[in-house]
Amino acid sequence: MSSSKSQDTSSKGGEVVSILKRIVAENGRDYAWQYGIAAVFLVAIAGSTAFTAWIMRDVIDEIFYRQRADLIAVISLSIMAAFMVRGVATYGQSVILARVGNNLVARYQKRIFDHLMKLGMDFFAENRSGTLAAQINQNVGGVRDLLNMLVTSVARDAISLVALVAVMVVQDPVLSLIAFLIGPPLILSVNYLMRRLRKLNRDAIVVGSQLGGAMQEAVQGIAIVKAFTMEDQLSRRMAALAEDVEQRSNKIARVSERLSPISDILAGIVIAIVIAYAGYRATAGGQPPGTIFAFVTALLLAYDPARRLARTQVNLERSLVNARMIYEILDLEPRQGDAPGAKALSVSAGEIRFDRVNFAYAADLPVLRDLSFTAEGGRTTAIVGASGAGKSTIVALLQRFYDVTGGRIEIDGQDIAGVTKQSLRRSIAYVSQHPYLFEGTVRDNIRYGREEATDAEIEQAAKLAEADGFIRQLALGYDTPLGENGATLSGGQRQRLSIARAMVRNAPILLLDEATSALDNESEAKVQQALAAAMQGRTTVVIAHRLSTVIGADRIVVLEQGRLMEQGTHTELLADPNSLYARFYQLQDDQDIGLVDDIADAPQDRDEAVERAIEERPA
């Protein structure tokens, strides 16, 4: 048992050293001169502290014992100078370490964000966004605290302790040996507390992240919370998480704060022994009090840096947990990267070809099965089918959010697995069925489609998307700041801004994933006219449930459970009354041309209607 504990301790120690080496290797050179100046200030603090203890012997012996009036001014001025140096040095090191620490936090925040942007959709599908954001916010300061603690511990506390111990040894070696009795039990106590805190700190960070993530999700989904009267339910959940965080934090406090009474008790015992022994020698041997007074002063002053060093080791453990969790994210390799030697995609005609494509999100749940079809360049291809048929998966694969598990996807004869993802996605304009707007103004959100777009191009895109009218009615027009995800706009308005963003991109391939699903009939009619203009000369792939967005397509591809069932024009597919497409068409509302979405408002009713159509289709 003891050997396994020692092995675990040594492995943890090796991990600590490796993290420290990595942090220093990544940041040491950039901040060497700042830390160097801070170290000089900290050494000055340590020197002035040791000098204060040293001068006490002369204060007692020369001024009070021997009554040398000629030394009063010299000793007083030297003490005043020591405190002035200490004050200036304390201010200087605090400001430098704060600036370096803030820069480190900003550096790691940017670095983590850049790395997250490189990770694939699989990572974000496996991690809740709110929890991830809360965890990063909690941990990002760990690297800063780690480096700052190391600098202050080495340059101030350790040097102060060594200098004060030197004063003690010079003044009285025998008393110094007695004072050193505090060392071994204090070191054993610190090691014990560090082992206890390692797991407690990590668990507390994880639970705290869950609490922060749950709060963020509740705020983001406040409309659903209100609509389904979930306030009490979520409040109970938040209360449970908050109590869990409280209990873990209290346990960490109980364990970590044990160091204070342990160190105080040990220090009290040693100081009492030292004073008793020194007092006996002074009274029995007639030794001048200056040496003893200087020794006791140095001992009392040494207690503070010794306690801080012990506390630093305990605090270091939490910072190491923070840094370790940050590096766990930074060390994640994107599962889906560019192939070696990948070239930029060159789009001419814009022909898209699916060649025997297979795909599964999980190994035992295939979504697309041996799927082959061609979307001709410059024409519109519509993908229809019941929920779960694989329509949106086609859009995700086209943008290489995921890679196919079999077959290939080509654009103008180029396998998209062999081109850079950036060039692929720059060639595509995408409109999701769930429009998302970012922080900033209306103009900013449209410009995200193409960073170099001019104001005139942005306004033209908004006109094509039938968004210009309502934008100009906003308080500041195109410069109106949007609430979170455009909360102050209607669903149709958000969707039209999303369409404007796709139009301003001016890409040769346009992907519309149920792009008009959030629009009313009047807005849909206007946007359909705008989309018809935007589709001219572009390869367009439309995912839709409404026949109003499908009827005019050059080719309609009908899917069932990830397989190609039929393809052709609207007229060709309706010519066969037994076709799956014809069955879908028969389910439409007589007054509003629509596919499955118009059968019922509830999604489950819609899916049941589709399944009935599939089941009733003749063999």
Specify the pLDDT at position 409: 93
For the CA atoms of 226, 229, 233, 238, what is the dihedral angle to 10 degrees? Answer: 10
Q: How far is CA 322 from CA 203, 328, 419, in A?
A: 11, 10, 37
Given 330, 354, 388, the domain boundary residue is: 330
Confidence of residue 613 (pLDDT cuts 50, 70, 90): very low
Q: Which DSSP letter does residue 463 get?
A: H
| Residue that the structure tokens 């950039």 belong to | 30
**Lowest-confidence pick of 310-319, 473-482, 556-565:** 310-319
pLDDT at 181 over 60: yes
Q: Are residues 153 and 283 in the same domain?
A: yes
Specify the pLDDT at position 15: 62
pLDDT at 70 over 50: yes
β pairing state of 509-513 and 428-431:
parallel
Q: How far is CA 456 from CA 442, 468, 478, 502, in A?
A: 14, 12, 11, 15
Mean pLDDT, the chain, integer: 78
* Pairwise CA distance, residues 438 & 443, whole Å: 11
Specify the pLDDT at position 5: 46
Q: Are residues 321 and 442 in the same domain?
A: no
Q: Which DSSP letter does residue 241 get?
A: H
Query: Is there a contact between 582 and 574 (Cβ–Cβ < 8 Å)?
Result: yes
- Residue 303 within a domain: yes
Question: What does pTM read for this prediction?
Answer: 0.67
Specify the pLDDT at position 131: 67
* Pairwise CA distance, residues 410 & 353, whole Å: 5
Q: Are residues 72 and 218 in the same domain?
A: yes
Predicted confidence (pLDDT) per residue in 247-273, tens digit: 887 877 777 777 777 777 777 777 777
- Residue 38 within a domain: yes
Specify the pLDDT at position 141: 76
β pairing state of 406-411 and 352-362:
antiparallel
pLDDT at 442 over 60: yes
Q: Over range 49-57, report the average pLDDT.
A: 80
- CA 515-116-484 angle, 5° bins: 50
Predicted confidence (pLDDT) per residue in 583-595, tens digit: 877 775 433 444 3
Predicted confidence (pLDDT) per residue in 158-171, tens digit: 777 787 778 778 77
Q: Are residues 76 and 221 in the same domain?
A: yes
Q: Are residues 132 and 242 in the same domain?
A: yes
* Pairwise CA distance, residues 302 & 307, whole Å: 9
Confidence of residue 548 (pLDDT cuts 50, 70, 90): low
Provide the CATH number for the domain around residue 471.
Answer: 3.40.50.300
Q: Are residues 148 and 292 in the same domain?
A: yes
Query: Is there a contact between 385 and 321 (Cβ–Cβ < 8 Å)?
Result: no
Residue 379 φ/ψ, nearest 5 degrees: -120, 170
Specify the pLDDT at position 573: 87
Q: Which of 328, 396, 367, 423 is nearest to 559 (CA)?
A: 367
Confidence of residue 530 (pLDDT cuts 50, 70, 90): low
pLDDT at 607 over 70: no
Element (H, E) at 79: helix 72-118
pLDDT at 201 over 80: no
* Pairwise CA distance, residues 257 & 32, whole Å: 33
Given 283, 310, 330, the domain boundary residue is: 330
- Residue 546 within a domain: no
Q: Which of 312, 309, 307 is nearest to 264 (CA)?
A: 307
β pairing state of 509-513 and 481-482:
unpaired
pLDDT at 606 over 70: no
Query: Is there a contact between 606 and 597 (Cβ–Cβ < 8 Å)?
Result: yes
Q: Are residues 180 and 305 in the same domain?
A: yes
Q: How many domains does the chain have?
A: 2
Q: Over range 351-368, report the average pLDDT.
A: 87
Q: Over range 224-235, report the average pLDDT.
A: 73
Q: Over range 536-541, report the average pLDDT.
A: 86
- Residue 558 within a domain: no
Structure tokens at 153: 């511990």
CA 540 from chain centre, in angstroms, equals 35
pLDDT at 600 over 50: no
Q: Over range 407-423, report the average pLDDT.
A: 91
Specify the pLDDT at position 84: 92
CA 342 from chain centre, in angstroms, equals 29
- Residue 325 within a domain: yes
Specify the pLDDT at position 198: 66
Work out the number of other CB atoms within 10 angstroms of the CB of residue 189: 17
Q: Are residues 33 and 163 in the same domain?
A: yes
pLDDT at 19 over 50: yes
Structure tokens at 143: 């690297």
Residue-wise DSSP of 154-222: IIIIIHHHHHHHHHHHHH-HHHHHHHGGGHHHHHHHHHHHHHHHHHHHHHHHHHHHHHHHHHHHHHHTH
More confident: 473 or 308: 473
- Residue 152 within a domain: yes
Provide the CATH number for the domain around residue 60.
Answer: 1.20.1560.10
* Pairwise CA distance, residues 12 & 320, whole Å: 11
Count of H-run helices and E-run strands, the chain:
23, 12
* Pairwise CA distance, residues 487 & 437, whole Å: 9
Q: Are residues 179 and 38 in the same domain?
A: yes
Residue 481 φ/ψ, nearest 5 degrees: -70, 140
Q: Which DSSP letter does residue 346 get?
A: -
pLDDT at 330 over 70: yes
Q: Over range 229-243, report the average pLDDT.
A: 80
Specify the pLDDT at position 503: 86
Given 308, 330, 352, the domain boundary residue is: 330
Instruction: Give the whole-number percent of the chain exceeding pLDDT 90.
Output: 11
* Pairwise CA distance, residues 400 & 409, whole Å: 10
**Lowest-confidence pick of 279-283, 363-367, 387-391:** 279-283
The 3-class secondary structure across 401-429, one letter per residue, is CCCCCEEEEEECCEEHHHECHHHHHHCEE
Q: List, in order, residues 6 or more apart from 203 with CB less than 8 Å away.
A: 248
What is the phi-psi region of residue 568: left when phi exceeds 0, alpha when psi lies from -120 to 50, beta otherwise? left
Q: Which DSSP letter does residue 120 get?
A: -
- Residue 380 within a domain: no
Give the domain extent around 184. 16-330
pLDDT at 233 over 70: yes
Give the ranges where 221-333 is alpha helix by DSSP (H): 222-227, 231-256, 259-285, 289-330
Query: Is there a contact between 262 and 186 (Cβ–Cβ < 8 Å)?
Result: yes
Q: Over range 436-459, report the average pLDDT.
A: 88
Q: Over range 358-375, report the average pLDDT.
A: 86
Q: Are residues 321 and 209 in the same domain?
A: yes
- Residue 457 within a domain: yes
pLDDT at 304 over 80: no
Compute the radius of gyration of the chain from its Cα atoms. Answer: 36
More confident: 582 or 190: 582
Q: Are residues 305 and 440 in the same domain?
A: no
